[in-house]
Amino acid sequence: MSIHELSALLWKERELLELLVYKLEVERLLLTSGKTRWIGRASEEIEQVTTRLRSLGLARTVEVAAIAREWATCEDATLRELVAAAPSEIWSELLDGHLTGLQQLANQIRELRDSNEQLLRAASRSTQETLASAHLSASTYDAHGNSASHDMTSRLVDKDI
């Protein structure tokens, strides 16, 4: 366990976050263009990236704890706390660069997520309104094989009346 391994993990995390930004951009483009056929696949890909990020986050936590012990700080230190506890300016600058990069990516992801959520809600409302205003009818066949159109709205009728 070393600072080199932590730095490598942070680079991998940043790459995955950039991939997540890309996947969210693709989802937004699909939503704005009305190409809803691929929304499910885009959402699955986003979920795959977030799953990979979770496992990488666990590995990073283990590395941070080891380095925190080595640098005589608390084991559940944040990246910002490691920057402050770094034994040399080089490691402090390196970790601070990672921290800045991660924060920028997190802000981009937050903005895209919020934008996509609004677009999904608008699409859902539009679909619900369309379905609510649609007059549904269906053709069925009677006992003689003739086509008969029936209104599909719900009715309760007592035949004994």
- Dihedral of CA 82/86/92/94: which sign? negative
* pTM attached to this predicted model: 0.77
Q: At what angle do helices 39-70 and 3-33 cross, to 10 degrees?
A: 160
Which pLDDT score is estimated for 156? Answer: 57
Question: Mind listing the pLDDT tens digit for each residue in 142-156?
Answer: 777 777 655 555 555
Question: Which tops the pLDDT comparison, 32 or 139?
Answer: 32
pLDDT at 138 over 80: no
Rounded Cα distance between 46 and 30, Å, is 14
Question: Which tops the pLDDT comparison, 130 or 12?
Answer: 12
Give the 3-state secondary structure of residue 160.
coil
Question: Mind listing the pLDDT tens digit for each residue in 48-107?
Answer: 999 999 999 999 999 999 999 999 999 899 999 999 999 999 999 999 999 999 999 999
Q: Are 3 and 67 in contact (CB under 8 A)?
A: yes
Q: Is 63 exposed, middle or buried (0-12, 13-18, 19+ CB in 10 A)?
A: buried
The tokens describing 147, both together, are 């086509």
pLDDT-derived band at 109 (thresholds 50, 70, 90) equals: very high
Q: Is 67 exposed, middle or buried (0-12, 13-18, 19+ CB in 10 A)?
A: buried
Q: What are phi and psi of 138, to 5 degrees?
A: -140, 145
